[in-house]
Every structure is written in structure tokens, then in C-alpha cells.
Structure 1
Amino acid sequence: MMETTVRGMTDALLLTASEMQAAGDSLHEKQVLELNSKLAEGRLTVAFCGHFSAGKSTLVNRLCGAQLLPSSPIPTSANVVAIRGGETAKASVVSIKNGEHVSVDIPLEQLDEYCKDGENIESVSIYYPTERLGNHTVLLDTPGIDSTDDAHRMSTESALHLADVVFYVMDYNHVQSEINFAFAKQLKDWGKPLYFIVNQIDKHRDRELSFEQYRKSVEEAFQAWHLEPAGIVYLSLRQPDHPHQEWEQLELLLSQLAAEKVPLAAYSVDASLRHLVVEHEKWWDMRDEPERERLIAEAGGEEAAAKVKEEMAQLEAEKYRLAAEPDRIRTELRRSVQSLLDNAIITPAPLRDKAHVFLESRKPGFKAGLLFAGAKTAAEQERRLETFRTEFASQVNAAVDWHVKDMLRKAAEKVGYPAERIEPELIASLSWQPEPQWLVESVNTGATFGNEYTMVYTREIAAEVKLIYRKHAFDIIDVLVEFVTAASKTAAEEAAAQLAGLGSQAGALAQLAALAQRAAAHAAQLAAALPPRVQRPALPAPRAA
């Protein structure tokens, strides 16, 4: 399973490096490729960091069993020295000459002299035959984090992306210095497995404070900073037989860590890759910052740019709203008219009774009276028709006509239709009255007259009335929509003119948006390239050998 994890990580590293190269970020591309080389090498990389005076170089020399490092840092531009196990003792120096990398192997004793011209030297690797390192461990010696040389601090931080485990070395008297806490917190946030080494404990004086009390005060200080190292080792390189010396615990700890080199390396490379992606995104932002500032200035400054952006968004939204307004109004008004008509009761029971009386007069063979039957019959038919028509017209007016006209009148006022034209041009066109002939012609003379046909007849004329009002109302709605369309077109042209009036400000904002979009797309590509997050392995704690 771990082999699968490593293979997947290798693919992610190469893909991420390719993305960074395409962006022009050679520094972080190089560091990602270094992670890939480190992963392929298959060794545990242990970095020693701390103050200049903390004794890092002396500690590394003792671990290797030889005087490999001078007491002061080798003056290279990188200022980080990697020590590996090898068959013979030598130093490999990579320098830059005429823009090209040149690697030279030299005897260890010539290293100090060779590195005096440190500006052209990019890296130094030392190889030494020792079981402590073998083919499984690499030690990194870094310059002091308290260096006043920014290049020194940067080289320390840049080298840490290769470290699987960090040992932070502190002077006994400066354990609780703020720079220690700040740097250690940075390592914790990065996700690097971290151990503390308190060196020079021979400076301790029991008459002032017992060693156990001192140890407790150190642990409490780190807890106050929310730092929980995997372990703390106490050393005295000057007094190997010091009673509180924990040299054997350190040696055992390094052996235990080496045994876990594969999962530790996988976790560390994953953490470093994610850290470098974040740093690359910062680099991307810094790269775009001059262009971003220029565009913001072109847009009139950040405050003006924000206002212009808000105004543009409002104008664009208004253009969209205006374009959709005619169809929205047509749909809304038609739906309202249809709902009103569907719920209108045009032929209630009392009116159906009058309709029944009217229909009886239309039966074949209907006669009124004995004398002068023809004239009396016609008069009775006319009387019943007029009675029904009057009641029917009144019901149509109360249930439909008034409500439809009121709805359309309010709709016209709402869309800004000229008030003086509403009644004569719109509402007047909706006037309708049931004509006697229409009521008569609606009768099916072939039907069987009775209560059942009365229900059919009143239902049919009610439906016909609703169709008539629906058609007239929809015609008026179309007139209103034409008016709104013309008004919307004019308003949309005004909005477009306002947008065009923003001129270079709008162009600058569009370019700013494009910058942000490119950054977001690039960040998404990098996020997609990342492998599944590797779980942090359990770390051994220092214990008696």
C-alpha cells in the first residue's frame, strides 16, 4: 500500500512541477523536483536547526563520529550542508559558472578553502563512511535561525522542505527565547515532525533550581505556545558523563526514525508539497500584484473600483431584467386573468331558475293563452328573454366585467401607461353585453328541454362569456406588453450607454476579473494535482537505551 502511495505521490510531484514551470515559477518548481529526487533516493532526511551558538555542527560531527563540519557555517549561498553515508570520505560541491551548474568532488580537508568564494556555490554535500548514516539517513546542517543575514534564514527555511524530521537545537540559557517559539510554531504549522534538543545542560546549577524543575518549566513554556514536540532530548556535548545526559536516547531515537523512513518520507513530502503549493500561490499573487495595482489605479482606485464594479453589476442586472420584463408581465397578467375567470361564478342557482323559465318558452309548440295565441306567445317569449338577459348581464358585470377591468386598469397604471389613454383606449375596448339574439342562438332547439338541459345551457353560455373576456383581456395585455417592450428597450439602451460611459474603468475591471479567474483556475489545477493526504505516522518518543 505504501508503494502505491509513493507512486501516486511521484506522479503528483511531476504534475505540480509542470504546472509551476508553465507559470514561470522556477524556484518552487525546483523545490518540488527536489522532493521527487528525495523520494526516489529513499533515505530519511533529518534537519538540525537552531541558534548559531546552540552547537548544531558539534552535534552533527559527534553523530557522524568525525570532524566533518567546521564550527562556523560554510559560507555558501545555500548555507545548508547535506551529509550522507558513502564508501569514501569526500565533499561534492555544486557551483554556478557562466550560468551553468558545475559539480566537483574534493577531499574533505579542502572544503573550507574551496568554499571561500561562497557566492558561486549552490550546494555542498558531504559523504562519509559511517553506520550512523549508511544508505538510509541524510543529515542537514543549517545556519542559525538568528542570523542577521536574510539569505541565511531563507536558506534554512528553503531546505526544510526536504526534511522528514526536524531536530531543533537550543542553548540551555535561551530555550525560552521568543525566536525559538516562533520558529517552532512555524514548523508545527507546516506539519513537520519536530523534536527539541536542549544542549549545554552542563550550565545548569542545582543550587538555583533542580533539574526536574527546569525540565518542567521548559515543557510548560512550550505548552503555553501550544507546541507539543514529539520529544525533548537533553544533552551536554562538553560533559559526556553528565548525570542528565540523554545521548543514548538520541542515538536510539535516530535508529527508530530510520526504521520508519518510508512512511515518514511519504508524509513529509506530502506536507512539503502542500506547503510549496501555498507558497507558489503567494508567488503568483506577488507576480500579478503590479498589474493588479495598475488596473486598480486605472479604475480610479480601490474604492472607486469597488463602486464601479457594483454599478456595473447593477446595470447588467437591470439590462437582464428589462429584457425579461415584457414576457414576465405577459405571463403574469394572463395567469391572473385566467385565474379570475376560472373562479368567477356567472350562473348561480337563482339565475339558472330564470334561464329555465326562458328555455321553456323556447320549447317547440310553446303557446301562451287561448285567444290571439300567436301574439301572446311572442310577447311572452320576449318578456322571458329580456328578464333572463337583464339578470344574466348583471351577473356577468358583477362576477367578471368589473374585476377584469379593475385588474387591467391597475396593471396599466403600474407599467406607466399614460393615464389619459387608459379608459378610452384600453378599458372601453373591453365593454361587452349579452345580446338577446346571442342568447337565443345559443339554445339547442333539438335538445330535450328540462332541468338537465338548463344546466348544460347555462354552463355553455358561462364558458363562452369567459372565452370572450379572455380574448379581449389578452388583446389589452398585448397592448400593455408592446408599451413595456418599447419602454424597456429605451431603458436598456440607457443602461448600455451608462456601461459604455464607464470606459476604461470597465475595461480595467474586466481585466481584474480575468486575473482573478486565471488565478482561481490555476489554483484549481494545482489542487487537482495533489495526491490523497498522507496520514502522519506514529513518532517514537525518546526513551532510555
Structure 2
Amino acid sequence: MTEHNRKELLHKTGELYKEFIENQDEQRAAKLAAVMNKAADEEVYIAFTGHYSAGKSSLLNCLLMENILPTSPIPTSANLVVIRNGEKRVRLHTTDGACAELEGAYRKDKVQQYCKDGEQIESVEIYDRYTEMDTGVAYIDTPGIDSTDDAHFLSAASILHQADALFYVVHYNHVHAEENVKFLRSIKESIPNVYFIVNQIDRHDESETRFEDYKAQVEEMLCSEGFSKDALYFTSVTEPNHPFNQIGVLRDELKGIEQQSKNNLQPLTEQKVRHLLKEHTEMLLKDETGGTSYAEQLITQTELVQSLRDQRDEMTKKATEAENKMQEEVNRILKNANLTPFEMRELAAEFLESQEPSFKTGFFFSKGKTAQERDRRRNAFFSDVKKRTEAEADWHIIDTFHKLAKAFDVHTAESEKLIQAYRTPLKIDIIELAVKHGAAFSSEYVLQYTKDLAELIRKEAKREAADIIKAISAMVKESVTKDMQTVNERLIQESEKLAILQEQAGLENNAREKADRIWAIWEDESACPRNIETDWFKTKKKTVAAPEQIRNQSHQTRQRNIKPEIMEQERPLQDQIKRFRILSDLLGEYNMLSKQTSAFQQRINRLEERKFTLALFGGFSSGKSSFANALVGERVLPSSPTPTTATINKITKPTNGSINKTADVVFKTEDDITAEILQLTGIKEEPTGRSFTEKWEKAIKKSRLQEEHVKLISNFLLAYEKVQPYIQEQKTLTIPLSDLKPYVAEEATACAVKEVTVYYTCPLTEKGITIVDTPGASSMNKRHTELAFQYMKDADAFFYMTYYQHSFSKGDRSFLQKLGLVKESLSMDKMFFVINAADLAKDRTELETVTDYVSAELVKEGIHDPQLFTVSSKEELQGKQESFYNQFPKVRKHLDRFIEVDVKKASAAQLSSEANKLCETVFQLHRSQHQSEEEKEAQKQRLMQSFARTAAEIEKRRSSETIIEKAKKDTKEQLYHITQRLSFFANDLLKSAFHPGLQNGDWKKNVAKAMKTAVHEYQFEYVQEIKTLDVRMSGFIERHIAEEWLESFQKILNEDGYFSIYAGDLHSNGIQLKEVEPDLDERVFEQEQKEIKSPKHFFEQKGKAAFIEAVRMKLNKITEHWVTKEEESLISHYTNHLRRLQEEMADKAMEQIKDQKDTYIEGYAEGEHAKEIEKAYQACISWQRSGHIIKM
């Protein structure tokens, strides 16, 4: 950059800086000063950003061959770190705007601690003589853009606009995370050179995925976002000689970028300034217009107001015109009506002739005949007159009235009735009224008579029509008055809008003039004054001493809640079952005990054959599938560094003729797919079409869908085409495991798959355990969510997987919070947490740091004393031995203990109690054999009394409302807490959804899109909350039923000692989770969005706070409405379920005590069973003496 050009640029930008400040755009003014400060120093900025824990700091240390920055698998970088080549020193910029310097020698560990201190330190500048770095270059390390700490994210975003090149670093296993695409889209226009680094390529396993396939997937993603595949690098810090490591190529590229950027400093600076100018001028317009151009709106509004005025004038005319128009039409019809045509004149002549005094008929009896003839002629003539009047006048008048009533918008039932009743009221004497007595009878007289008669008819018709005209006119006036009121009201409103638009158009013109002036300063040298200071961009900070470092207390070592090893004295369950069978076999041969021993045998069988479900949850790419493979000891499910599980996958032992190492694939129905598309895309109505394919192809063409939604529907259509017969006929597809991958890991096929069951024989599945591998816990797919919560409730145990270097994303936390809420309601702790890929640990100390961090984060989400393990699924599959980081053997032991002891313990305890009760029954019967008849009768009486008391107690519990009332109370309390939590959630959600980044692009569209996303997330959170309540209440019901029937009732039974009941496995009576369908359209918040006048008003004038509060309050009311509806439904749901359970328990109990009573009665019978009882007695004694009394 020449001195002249440099000064010219400084003067222009100095003037622009003043304009920015005058326009109250301090944010961009600061950015402009920073850009020019960098240009003045002639520095090249190369920024490194990306996922937290992706290895940015490690990569920078490697590139510079110095241990400069702190590194850790957990988030460490809490502020910006700028590394420069120069005299050794450190400059600290504090969050309160001061500056401190450490000159000369300093301790690296102390500086690294400052890099972690985001509370006190905003940024750290580190200077040293680095051999791998040129002077005039600054490397910038930022916190992770996906950090759950908002301060971290803002820190990362604050300097990126200055970068000449940006290297976006992602972890090998998280390339396809949604945050990557969002971030790349947001910055590609503002930074000239963007590069994509996939770090930790040493995690690649060629046996899982070919590197070329993996690379092609990443390249496809980059190209789809408009980036060159040449900007892609794969690196490894830990394995320099890895065959796919491009760290050397990256170093060379950096040198080239540094030199190229130095040579292009002025154009790069001008590009950044232009970008800021574009943003600032757009802001000016947005501040005044909200991103809307008012010119066209002004024209449209002016035309609308004029149109309303015209309508008003037309209505005024209409009220007066209606009567005139109807009168005119009636007059026209009557004038043109040929009421007395030529054909009628003959009848008229005959009538007139009969009216002559001389008229006479016949010779004999002529007087009577003459009168008759006169009547006939009069009636015939009048009848013809009436018909012709009706045809020539009445019908036409009626039709005209109908048309005019419609034309004047009064075609109602009332007007219809009035019009339809219209007839010219003719009486027979009308034909006589027109007769002129004394006139000579002639053809001329007949003609004149008919004319006179027609005129009389017209008068009658007009007189009758006048009443209808008056009535309809009144209707028109009434209608016009109402319409006029509406039009006048709207005219006032639209006129006010026009006035506002005229004012806004004026403001828009002013803003455009400002924008034009600013661009003129930049583009026209003559427009720029020369009295700008050359160092206007320098900021002076107060110098202070380096702040005291805050000791990091966030990850104190916690004793993880891992249960002790199985104690030797605890008897293995299989041994217990074997011994129960011995007793059953010993007593089963006696008829007297056959019912009880048969029931006992069935319960033993159920316990032995019971199947167990082990569900795997976790974020995308946390290694669930590889963990499942490690559990069974072979690569059964496809696993890869990209997200694979798009379906529910089960691994179980072969049953009912299924073959080992095959899989059954069940497909969704057309209705399932349609519902899923509607939910995921937000399309309001299902499209129409002759076929499934046609309607969705039409939707792609006609609907304004986002790119990802078009891809989603296209994938469904591809899948549908591949497996159409299976979808339409709902056939199950059976395939060998070698063909499994497309159905579970390739979205273009897997999206149509409902469920896959893999049949595989191994020690784990032989124990009756089914492993369920679920899609990512943060999935927004409604079906995935429903299944996740159903498994959360029904699974006997589940593992939540996290990844060693990427523990929790924002998406994981919501699900973990729900686990925290559920945990306390479970009858036993069936949650296990696993940190996968622990082989990445450098040493025990680092591993301890990560486990403490994960444990602390789980506690934050309400999961206290988590059972936490570290594993390496990769090494387990490779058959490597247990190490300090791989606790897979420990996982297996604890899983075995949990299934064999904890889960089955309750059932085994009940069987133990029943075994001892069987023996006690035999002992009682044996004692009765040595009693007198009187004693036996008394014993029998006591038995029957005990039976009656027990039966009465059972019936009392059958109809008890105690648990039901508790369930109602608990449901109401939980729903109250849900509304409270959702209110807090809404506040946080809206704060993050409506962020300053919305100013980039179309402000109104961005706000609308943000609202749509926020509403979708809020509904999803509500669904999760209700599902969580359902899971908690299911546990509540099981726990209270157990207390009512197994604990308190058993105590009552023990008092008499005659009877006992076996409740069975209450879990098997589980309740199906309720469907939840909140209906919320983001358009209900249109008014709140209209209140947002401009980005400036929103972000700088407390508009955001008012907006968030208004939306939150409306959401609260909507949620209260949902919850009120849900409360009634849920209480009914739980009440019905509880009543069914109580009925089942009572029926079971009655059946059991009847069988036990019958056994006693039969045993008391004299002599009949004496031998059997004696043998049974000896068997029980022998069984007990051999140590088979089970104490649980």
C-alpha cells in the first residue's frame, strides 16, 4: 500500500467513522476502527474457529511448534487469544476495558490460565519469537462457536469480521453437525478466504468407512454451501505420520495465505470497509423502514384510500338510486307489456257486445239465457286478462325485482318472500270500469276499450309494485348504512396508515440520502475533507496491574456412583431359580398342592424367560452404534464418523424361526411418512395428488420450501421408489447383515424404515437382553421423540453416550434435563452414563478432568450421583485389554449385576416368599393331622374367618380411591411446575433466537423465520415436558401399587398366616405414553412482530426486552390453555389405568387366596391326604435343611 493510498484510505474511513457515530452505529464504528487499526499496522489476521474441543488450540500449538495455548478435551478457550511474532510479552485486555502487560519472561502456565479466564479477561495478546510465523501476521484462537456459554460465542464472533483468512476446525466425528452449515452460511460473504479443517483424522477407521468415501461426503457438504473442495484439509496433531494427515500441506498453505494477504492488504481492507458500509447503510434503512421499501406501499395505500372513498360515494348514490331504478324498471316493463293483444280483442268485443242493452240470446226463456251468456263472456274475458297480465307483466316484474335485489345486495329470505308474492291485484269489475256506457259498439270502440283497460291494469300493477319498491328500498338503505359504517371506519384506519406511510416514506428518503452521502464519501475523492487525524482509530486503554487469577473450581473431583462388585454371599439368580424348581418338582406330584405348585412353576418360568431391554441414548455421532457393537462383540450395526442411526435398531437373539445374522426391516406406512414430512417441514396442509409420489413432487414444485426440506422430501421419494411394495403392502423385508447398511445408515433409504431387528447370538442376547440403538437424543423428529420417551419408561436399563472430546451440545442438554426429572421417580437407578472414545485421553490426569467435568455437567441438569464409565468401543472391538481409560469389563459386570440382581430382585424375592409360604402351608396341614376333630373344626373356622377378612380387604382395595387421589394431586402439581419451567425456557429461548445476527439480510424475513423456529422449539419442549410427566407418573403408579399390594397388604396377610399373594411384574402392566399434539401457529405473534420498528429500536432502545416479555406472556397464556386441556385428559388417562390395575390385582389376589383356601380345606379332610401330607412335609423339611430357604 503506497503512502498516498494509505492516507487517502485513512481520511475516507475517518470521515465514515464520524458518520457511523452520528448515526448511532457504535458497533460498526468500532469494527471500522479495528479494521483500520489492523490496516495501519499492515497486519494479516488468520483466525481459527469451530467447534469447542475440536482441537483448535492444539492445532495452533502444533503449527507453531510451541506449547502456547491451553489444551483440554473439555472447553478451555474462554476468550480471544492473538499470537504475534515480536519481543516476548503478554498483553491482557480486561472485560472492564482496561489493559495490563506482562513484559519479558513469564510463566506459560500462568498465561494459559488467563486464556481460560473468560470472566476477567476479554482477550490475550501473546508476543514471542516464533520460527514458524512471519512478522506482520497474527494468529487468532477463538472459543467454540457451538459453546453452551453465550459469552464464549460472542467472543468468537467479535473479531472474525477482521480476518483475512478463516480456518474452521471441526472434530472428525462432528463434521455434519448442523452448527457447521449455519456458521459457514453466516460468514462466507464477509471473509475473503475460508478453509475447512477436519481435525483428529487419526480417529479414522478404514474398516468402518473408506477414507475416500468419507472425504467425498465432506466435499459434497462444502460444495453444496458454495465452498471449494480445495479449501478442505485433514489434520492430526497426535499422529504426525498418519497417512491422511495434511498438517505439512496446511503449513505451506498458511505461508502462501500470509504472503498473498500481505500483497493484497489494501484490497482486502477495502473489501472489509465496503462490507461494513453495506451493513451500515442497510441498517440506516432498516432503522427507518424495518427493512421495507415504502415507495410501492405508498402507491398501493394511496390507491386503496381512493378506492374506499369511491366506494363510499357509490354507496351514497346506491341508497337513492335503488328506488328510482326499480320504479324505472317497473315502468319500462309495464310500458312494453302487450296486455291487450289482437288475439284478446275478440273476447273483448264479445264482452262489450254483451254489455249492450239490446243484447239478447234465444227466443224462449231469453232473459235467463241472456244473463248466463253475459256471465260466461265476462268470466272468459277476465280470465284471459288475468293470464295475460301475469305473463306479460307480473313474471317480468318478479324477475326484475330478483335481479335488482341481488344487484343491491339485499337478496335475502325476507326480500325473496316479498318478491315471490307479487301479483297485480285484478278484480273482475276492472273490465267493467273501462266500459263507456252509451258509446256506439264498433271495432274502433273495442280498440279504445282495450287501451283503456290496459292503462287501468298498469295503474294497479304500479300501485302493487310501489309497496315492494318501498320495502326493498328500505332494505337497501339499511344495508348501505351498515356497509357505509364499515367503509367509513376502514377509510379512517387506512387514511391514518397512509399518513404514517407518507411520514415513513419521508424518513426513508432521508435515510437514502444519508446512505448516498456515505457512499459518495467512499467513492468520490472530492467528497472527503482532509482535516481527519491520521490515528483516529487508536483507542487508549487504562493500564492496570495483571488481575489476580481465579482458581478454577468448576471441576472438583467427585466420587462417581459406581456400585461395588457383586458380593460373594449373594446367590446367583440362576442358582435360585434352579432351587425353586427343586421345590416345585418335590411338591408338584401331590394332587392336593397341584394348583399352587402349578402357579409357582409358571412364575419361575416367567422369571427365567423374562426379556430385558437395554436402550442406548445420546447425541449424534456419540458412538451409540459402535458401543452396541462392542457390547455384542462384533460389528453388527453400521458405524461411521458421520451420523448413521436414522431408525430404531434392535439387536436380539433369534426367535420363532428367525436366522442368526439376519435382520427384519419394517417400513413406515404412507400415512407415517406424510405425517413425518408435515411435522419436519412445517407444511400446514397435506398436498393433493393421485398418488403418494405425485402429491409430494407437486409440493416440491409449488411450495416455497427451504433447501433442506426439499432434500428431505426428495429422500423420502427416493426411498419410496426403492421399497414401494413393502410400504404399500406392509411386508417385512428379511436380509443378511451384509446388506443392512442402506436401511439404517443411508438417509435416502433409511428415512422410510420404521424399525430394524437384527438377530444375533452372543452371550448378552442369550441372557434375553435386547439392545435398542436410537437416533440422536436431540432429534426434533416427533416419532423419534415419542420412541425415546417410551424406551425411557419401558427399558430395563439405558446408557446415555457422550463423546470424550465433545461432551454436551446445546441439543443434548434438554434431553438430559428430562432424564434428571425422571431419575428420582424410578423405582431403581437404571441410568448409566458412558464417555466414549476415552482412548483419546493423554493420561489419567486428563481423563479425571474430563470425567469430573461430565459429572459436574450432569449434576447441573439434575442428575445427581450418576453412574459414569469411560470406554473405548474401538479398542473393545479390537480385543484390546482393559486399561485405565477403557472400563468396558466394568460396564459388563455392572450391567450383569443390574439385570441379574437389581432388576430381577423384586421378582425373585416374591418367589422366595411364595416358596417359604408353600412350605408353611404344608407344615400347617401336617400339624392338623395330629389334631382332634374339634381342633380341626376350630382351625377350619379360623381359616374361613381369615378368608372372609382377606376377601373383604381385597374388595376394599379394588375400589380404593387413595392412589387415584394421590395421582390427581401429583399430576396437578407437576403440570404447575411444567408451566413455570416453560416460562423460564421461553425467556432463554427468545433471547437466543432474536440475536444481532438477524440484522444481516432481510430483517423482517429473518425475524419471521426466527419466530417460526422459536415456536417450533417451544412446542418441542412442551411435548418433551408432557412426555417426561408421563414417564414420571408411570413410575409413580407402579411404586404406589407396589406399596398398596405388596407391602401394606402383605403385612395384613402375615398377621393371620394363612394366605399370601404374588403380584407378578408390575412393570409389564406399563402404561402407553399419551400422544401430545400442541397446536401453535407462529402467526399468532404477528402483532408483536409489527411492534418491532427497526433493528436499532429492537437492540439499542430496549425493544428486545419489551418484545420478549410480550411474546413470553402470550406463550404463558397459550401454555396454560394447553395444560388445562391436558390436565383433564391426563387425569382421566391415569385414573382409568389405575382402576384397571386395581381390578387386575384384586382378581389375581382373589383367585390365589381361593386356591390356598381350597388346599387347606382339602388337607383337613379326615385321612384322605394323610400320606400325601406326610410325604410333602418330609420333602419341605429336606429342602429347608439343605439350605434352600432364600432370604432376599
What is the TM-score of this pair, normalised by structure 2?
Answer: 0.26
Q: 2:196 is paired with a residue of what secondary structure? A: strand
- SS of the residue corresponding to residue 530 of structure 1 reads helix
Matches within 5 A, 1:65-104: 65-71=65-71, 79-88=79-88, 90-95=89-94, 97=96, 101-104=97-100
Q: State which of 285, 301, 304 in structure 2 corresponds to 1:307.
A: 301
User: Equivalent residues in 2 for 1:143-542 (5 A)?
Assistant: 143-228=143-228, 230-285=230-285, 287-288=287-288, 307=301, 311=305, 508-530=500-522
Give ranges in structure 1 of 5+ residues lacking alignment. Answer: 297-301, 316-498, 533-545
**Is this contact kept in 1: 2:305–2:495, CA < 8 A?**
no
User: Which residue is 1:381 aligned to?
Assistant: none
**C-alpha separation in 1, matches of 2:262 and 2:508:** 39
Identify which range, 206-215 or 166-175, moves more after superposition: 206-215
Say if 1:174 and 1:500 are closer, same or farther in 2 by CA, change over 3 A: closer
CA spacing shift, 1:39–1:206, aligned 2, 3 Å: same
Contact 1:44-1:264 within 8 A present in 2 as well: no
**Equivalent position amino acid for 2:301 in 1:** K
Question: Deviation at 1:237?
Answer: 0.7
Shift of 1:241: 1.3
Structure-2 change in CA distance of 1:47 and 1:18 (3 Å): same
Indicate if the aligned counterparts of 2:161 and 2:190 stay in contact, CA closer than 8 A.
no
Matches for 1:104-143 after TM superposition, within 5 Å: 104-106=100-102, 107=106, 108-114=108-114, 118-143=118-143
Q: Distance in 2 between matches of 1:80 and 1:263?
A: 26
- Who is 2:19 aligned against? 19
Q: 1:450 corresponds to which residue?
A: none
Give the secondary structure class of the aligned counterpart of 1:270.
helix
Provide the secondary structure at the position in 2 that maps to 1:190: coil
Secondary structure of 2:166 counterpart: strand
Give the whole-Å Cα distance in 2 for the aligned partners of 1:33 and 1:250.
31
CA distance in 2, matches of 1:157, 1:501: 44
The alpha-carbon distance between structure 1 residues 177 and 96, as it changes in their structure 2 partners (threshold 3 A), is: closer
Gaps of 5+ in 2: 310-490, 525-1192
Equivalent position amino acid for 2:90 in 1: A
> Any idea what the Cα deviations from partners look like across 1:253-289, whole Å, max 9, x if unmatched?
1112222233343333223222222333454456447
Deviation at 1:531, TM superposition (A): 5.1
Q: Determine the structure 1 residue equivalent to 2:48.
A: 48
For 2:493 and 2:253, locate their aligned partners in 1 and report how far apart those are by CA, in whole Å: 71
Given the superposition, is the C-alpha separation of residues 207 and 505 from structure 1 closer, same or farther in structure 2, using an over 3 Å criterion?
closer
Deviation string 1:309-344 (CA, Å, 9 cap, x unpaired) is: 8648999xxxxxxxxxxxxxxxxxxxxxxxxxxxxx
Shift in Å at residue 242 of structure 1? 0.8
Q: Distance in 2 between matches of 1:154 and 1:252?
A: 31
1:104, distance to aligned residue in structure 2 (A): 0.4
Cα deviation, residue 158, structure 1:
2.6
Instruction: Determine the C-alpha separation between the residues in 2 that align with 1:170 and 1:235.
Output: 10
Q: Quick check: 2:298–2:502 contact (8 Å CA) kept in 1?
A: no
1:36 offset after TM fit, Å? 0.3
* Counterpart-to-counterpart distance in 2, 1:62 and 1:219: 25
The answer as to whether partners of 2:95 and 2:119 remain within 8 angstroms in 1 is no
Deviations 1:374-417 (A, max 9, x none): xxxxxxxxxxxxxxxxxxxxxxxxxxxxxxxxxxxxxxxxxxxx
Residue 318 of structure 1 is matched in structure 2 by none
Deviation of 1:27 after TM superposition, in Å, equals: 1.3
Contact 1:44 1:138 in 2 (8 A): yes
1:5 Cα offset (Å): 5.0
Say if 2:147 and 2:153, in contact at 8 Å, map to a contact too: yes
The answer to whether the 8 Å contact 1:195/1:229 transfers is: no
Aligned residue type for 2:263: P
Post-superposition shift, 1:96? Answer: 5.1
Letter in 2 for 1:94: H
Q: Is the 8 A contact 2:234 2:245 kept in 1?
A: yes
Shift of 1:53: 2.3
Query: Kindly tell me: are residues 33 and 250 of structure 1, through their superposed partners in 2, closer, same or farther at Cα, counting changes over 3 Å?
Result: same
Aligned to 2:1160: none
* 1:185 Cα deviation from its structure 2 partner: 2.9
Residues 1:47 and 1:522: Cα distance change in structure 2 (over 3 Å): same
CA distance in 2, matches of 1:27, 1:162: 13
Deviation at 1:4, TM superposition (A): 5.6
Distance (whole Å) between structure 1 residues aligned to residue 523 and residue 132 of structure 2: 32
| Aligned-pair CA distance for 1:205 | 1.4
Q: Give the C-alpha shift of residue 51 in structure 1.
A: 0.6
Quick check: 1:42–1:261 contact (8 Å CA) kept in 2? no
Question: For residue 10 of structure 1, what is the aligned residue in structure 2?
Answer: 10
Contact kept? 1:14, 1:36, Cα under 8 Å: no
- 2: CA distance, partners of 1:504 / 1:213: 63
**Aligned residue identity for 1:60:** L
1:145, 1:501 → 2: CA distance? 47
Query: In 2, Cα distance between the equivalents of 1:18 and 1:37?
Result: 16
Do the aligned partners of residues 133 and 5 (structure 1) sit closer, same or farther apart at CA in structure 2, a change above 3 Å counting? same
Note if contact 2:190-2:272 (Cα within 8 Å) is conserved in structure 1.
yes
| Percent of pairs with identical residues | 31
Change (3 A) 1:527 1:208: same
2-side partners of 1:84 and 1:8: how far apart? 28
Q: Quick one: distance in 2 between partners of 1:313 and 1:159?
A: 53
> What amino acid is the match of 2:201?
I
Tell me the CA shift for residue 163 of structure 1: 0.5
Q: Which amino acid in 2 is paired with 1:93?
A: L
**What SS does structure 2 have at the residue aligned with 1:53?**
coil
* Aligned-pair Cα RMSD in Å: 3.6
**Is 1:29 matched up with 2:29?**
yes
* 1:106-140 superposed Cα distances (whole Å, 9 cap, x missing partner): 34443355567634543321112202234221001
How far apart, in 1, do the equivalents of 2:56 and 2:14 lie? 34
Cα pair distance change 1:15/1:66, threshold 3 Å: same
Q: Equivalent residue for 1:322?
A: none
Residues 219 and 229, structure 2, Cα contact 8 Å, conserved in 1: no
Which residue does 1:434 correspond to in 2? none
1:118 to 1:231, Cα distance in 2 relative to 1, 3 A: closer
**Distance (whole Å) between structure 2 residues aligned to residue 117 and residue 231 of structure 1:** 33
Three-state SS of the structure 1 residue aligned to 2:207 is: coil
Contact 1:9-1:531 at 8 Å conserved across structures: no
Alpha-carbon separation, structure 2, partners of 1:159 and 1:313? 53
Separation in 1, partners of 2:171, 2:5 = 39
> Which residue of 2 is the match for residue 408 of structure 1?
none
Q: Distance in 2 between matches of 1:173 and 1:74?
A: 20
Tell me the SS of whatever aligns to 1:162.
coil
* Contact in 2 for aligned 1:170/1:199 (Cα 8 Å): yes
The answer as to whether partners of 1:80 and 1:156 remain within 8 angstroms in 2 is yes
The SS at the match of 2:101 is strand
Would you say how many aligned residue pairs link Structure 1 and Structure 2? 335
Rounded to whole Å, the distance in 2 between the matches of 1:114 and 1:246 is 31
Match of 1:490 in 2: none
Encode CA deviations 1:9-58: one digit per residue, 9 max, x unaligned: 33332222121011111111011010001011112110011111211011
Deviation string, structure 1 residues 47-78 (Cα, Å, up to 9, x no partner): 011111211011112222222222266675xx
